[in-house]
Structure 1
Amino acid sequence: MAKPKRIDHVAIIVRDIEQALCFYRDTLGIEPSEVKDVPSEQVRIAFLPLGGPAGSEIELIEPTAENASLNRFLEKRGEGLHHICLEVENIEAALTEMKDQGVPVLDEQPRIAAEGRAIFIHPKGANGVLLELLEKA
């Protein structure tokens, strides 16, 4: 069984990372470990670590392209929770298991993510929540 090891991150979609950091960094005191562009995903991500080396993160994600699917998500639903990411040991095994169980997945094969390889589970299969399963690099 591809049981998740831990919550890796919670992703929050924002219109402007710098504006969002005014709250997360300046008000809550969570310093970003990195803010980086991920052109392949058409996003800019601010990584906000919590709980030390084995802790989880909040990721602020800002779409960087007008035609990006994340931009459409933002326009339709507004800022807020985008997805929850669970770390797994083996992404191929997780994908096979999800397909075998009839779970609706958005990926036919693992995609390259900011921190490894990942698949997404459609919200229809996870009680309305977009879930990412991630095998860390």
Structure 2
Amino acid sequence: MAVRKIEHVGIMVTNMERSVAFYRDVIGLEPLGTLDHGNGTIKLAFLGFPGAKETQVELIEGYDGTLAEEGKVHHIAFTVDDLDAELARIEKHDVKFIDPDVTTLPNGARYRFFYGPDGEWIEFFQPA
């Protein structure tokens, strides 16, 4: 098969510095670099997991907000080893949780959603 992996997930943001800080400090991603798109308007930032050079998240600043017709992403999920510990850690960053409690699936996997700086939905997911 020619398709091997997800290259990245692009997230539209309104303030690049704020969003880079959020994904660095709250999620734990490392900034890998930035790039001007070349059209004079759009700026890109690439972030990945510590020790990995592959891009996992691409932040996109400069769209006018009318891009919704190109597609919508319901949420981005990050696997964590210890959901309770991670939730306690990010509470110190004053994140706003979407669901009132942790959800446990019938197979024992657990997750909880919270908002990113532009209202994007983020999930921390602990496999069974």
TMscore range, shorter length: 0.3 to 0.5
If asked which structure has higher relative contact order (CA below 8 Å, sep 6+), I would say 1
Give the number of the structure whose residues are more often helix, by fraction: 1
Give the number of the structure whose residues are more often strand, by fraction: 1
**TM-score computed with the length of structure 2 as normaliser:** 0.45
**TM-score computed with the length of structure 1 as normaliser:** 0.42
